[in-house]
Structure 1
Amino acid sequence: MSGGVSNFGRIAFDDLRWEGRRYAVTNLQTAGAGLGSETPKRARFTSIDILPKQQVEEGAEPLLYAATSPEATAGAYYGPGGRFGLVGPTITARITRRALNTEANRRLWTEADLTAAVA
């Protein structure tokens, strides 16, 4: 499973648990003590309606399609077919060059096995 941001992000193998980096500030962090009050504080960027967004059901559709549809193809990549590939109905999406990096894929699975103590 992936998201549109994966096209721009980088895997920091030396800090997979984000212990040395800070997450982006979210509305939950900025609302803080005001959360649950009648007028919660909001981060400035949440009031700007230019970012693509969709409901949870639409967001889960590509994953559910890949996992359950008899029409899904093994090894294919499914994602949203709308604006910037971030929203919209499910389509067969292009697998990015970064996702095909066999060395990074191998290393990520190795780290996941070690973290989950599976191997």
Structure 2
Amino acid sequence: MTKTYVITGANSGLGFATTKALTDRGAHVIMAVRDGNKGREAQTRLTGGSSEVRVVDLADLASVRAFADGIERADVLINNAGVMGLPRTLSAQGFELQFAVNHLAHFALTGLLLDRIADRVVTVSSTLHKRGRLDFDDLNAEHGYRHGTAYNQSKLANVVFGLELQRRLRGSSLRSVLAHPGYAATSLQAKTQPGLYRRALLLGNRFLAASAEEGARPTVFAATDPAVTGGQFIGPGGLGEMRGAPRVVQPARKATDPRVAERLWSVSERLTGVRYLSTTVG
């Protein structure tokens, strides 16, 4: 039976590489993209399986709700899309954009779709979650904004969310899995705020980074391998988790504290207006 995957940010970078790998395996992929024209252009480069393009603006929770309303069922949800290294920008609801897109939108989307997902939720994070800190006094980064700090916080939130979702799924047939690409060259780095940070990223892309196709391997493994269990974190198996074949890796210890997770969950429900009902979780 053909499996259906929903993946955010499916038209470029890691998202497109993941989409192509899944369709090459014969899957049906719902490509959740911000720009429909770019999504349809990317769709023309797919040669296997089947796909459909649907528009969602992760910087607007109203758009997330509308998108979720149009999904009847899926086997797997892949929370992949992200923004990185931006000057301080606000979402439609007034939240710092990296936290809004990378965490809040995916928290909301998962909650809205959870009763229609048959197999698993895969949330894509980064090794930079290890540098992150959840500043509950200033999650909106209103004081002393630094784009790298805000990005790292959002990636830590991804891991805390994915692990807490699995705790809440205990006893359910669903599973929550995490993945990270290691150091992969994508368009994400090129869209960061101009300056020394972006130049360093682009230089690293040229000489050190894996391709988007290699970087997508942990996500594809997390989304498809039947042996993957809930709560596992899949990343590259090479030195420093920078690149290599997918394997189980360990999250930062600070991401595993249930008390921090409970607090982030409560805040995320309040900010998004999406409550996870006990009847759909566990």
User: Aligned match of 2:254 in 87, 98, 104?
Assistant: 98
Superposition pairs of residues 23-62 of structure 1, within 5 angstroms: 23-24=147-148, 28=191, 29-30=193-194, 43-46=198-201, 48-49=203-204, 52-62=208-218
1:22 and 2:162 equivalent? no
Alpha-carbon contact 1:52-1:87 (below 8 Å) kept: no
Change (3 A) 1:113 1:67: farther
For the pair shown, the structure with the greater C-alpha radius of gyration is: 1
Q: CA deviation at 1:8?
A: 2.0
- What's the % identity of the aligned pairs? 31
Which residue does 2:132 correspond to in 1? 9
Partner of 1:64: 220
TM-score in terms of structure 1 length: 0.69
Pair 113,58 (structure 1): closer, same or farther in 2 beyond 3 Å: farther
Moved over 3 A (4+): 46-52
- What's the C-alpha RMSD, in Å, of the aligned pairs? 2.8
Structure 1 residues 100 and 15, CA gap change in structure 2 (3 angstroms): same
User: Within 2, Cα distance between the matches of 1:52 and 1:23?
Assistant: 23
Give the strand-richer structure, 1 or 2.
2
Unmatched runs of 5 consecutive residues or more in structure 2? 1-123, 149-188, 276-282
Amino acid at match of 1:101: D
Contact 1:27–1:43 (Cα < 8 Å) also in 2: yes
1:49 positional shift: 3.8
Unaligned runs of 5+ in 1: 32-41
Tell me which amino acid in the other structure corresponds to 1:92: V
Structure 1 43/13 Cα, relative in aligned 2: closer, same or farther at 3 Å? same
2:219 and 2:139 map into 1 onto residues whose CA distance is 23
Higher mean alpha-carbon deviation, 4-13 vs 63-72, is at 63-72
Give the TM-score normalised by the residue count of structure 2.
0.33
Pick which of 82-91 and 13-22 moved more: 13-22
1:101 Cα deviation (Å)? 1.0
How far the C-alpha of 1:52 sits from its partner, in A, is 4.5
Alignment match, 1:118? 274
**Quick one: distance in 2 between partners of 1:64 and 1:72?**
11
Once residues 204 and 125 of structure 2 are traced to their aligned partners in structure 1, the CA distance between those partners, rounded to angstroms, is 23
Structure 1 residues 110 and 63 mapped into 2: Cα distance closer, same or farther (>3 Å)? farther
